[in-house]
Amino acid sequence: MTATTTYPVPEDARTTLGTPKPFVILAGTAHPRLAADIAMHVGTPLGACRVERFPDGEVAAEIQQSVRGHDVFIVQPMSPPVNDHLVELLVVVDACRRADADRITAIVPYFAYARADKRAGRRVPVTARAVADMMQSIGIDHVVTLDAHTPQIEGFFRIPIDNLSILPIMCSALESRLTDDTVIVSPDLGGVKRATELAENLRRPVAICVKRRMDGESVEVTQVIGDVRDRPCVIVDDMITTGGTIAEAARALRAHGARDGLVVVASHGLLVSGAAERLRGAGVSEVLVSDSIAGESDGALPVTRAGIASLLADVVRRLMAAGSLRDLS
């Protein structure tokens, strides 16, 4: 099936885009279902792209249709295995560039290495900047990501980058789970802004856990600011990797009298290294994340994934029509 599609350009955009341009949506192997859902929402078949790995781990890619003069959207979160999926993105972009694509947009719902945005010592890298340099040098023209861990990564790019918010989607998914006395909790001081925004949208109070990091994998919560006694709590974070920080926050909330059945909400659910079991052991009853990363619950803990395909399909439509993403950010 041919996947070349044109999108009508509004009259007020024709001065910048001219005639309607062909575009195509391609999927890497990190999350092909998300790419297919985006294409379905836009109303186009998914583009023909083959990605293979040799026995030694090298990546090979082939674009199996013409993309000459097209706007190409490549959907590839940097989910585990992070480095494999990053290299795969770069390889697919290079294939599109050599096939004479006009503009290449990388849709990277989860942007890995965003935590490595500064040096913690004199002889360590700023890996987020290194990743940005690789993405720009290979020929990416525009990056779209969701709830990046550190928004300042935008400063590492010389090309346009849009860091959009999943907050409205998570609010809609969470609203039915709330009671009148529910408290929104930030698991650390760094997440206060995120928790406050969610609480304001849901019209609920905020509590804050103050943590002290012991090493790269363990933390200790030293204080809980706010009234959580005999109240249901929702812990909010941008991502769940091992679940260590959230598990400690959950234990601290229970020690301060919070009700059983804690709910955790996060933009990105990596859930590696036994995270689900760790959260269940700390008293968490449910995890709500977006489907920015492919994954299914392993049965250790109920994990609900809220869909982001319609949001990203709207991004594709607006970019094809030279529209603004302001109200999505």
Query: Which residues are designated catalytic?
Result: 211
Q: DSSP letter at 226?
A: S
Instruction: Determine the Cα–Cα distance for residues 103 and 101; give it in Å rounded to an integer.
Output: 6
Instruction: Determine the Cα–Cα distance for residues 271 and 288; give it in Å rounded to an integer.
Output: 12
Residues 6+ away with beta carbon under 8 Å from 322: 9, 13, 16, 17
DSSP assignment string, 108-129: ESS-TTTT--S-SSTT---HHH
Which residues make beta-bridge pairs with 55? none
Instruction: Determine the Cα–Cα distance for residues 304 and 57; give it in Å rounded to an integer.
Output: 32
Sign of the torsion formed by the C-alpha atoms of 152, 155, 161 and 162: positive
CB 71 within 8 Å of CB 103: yes
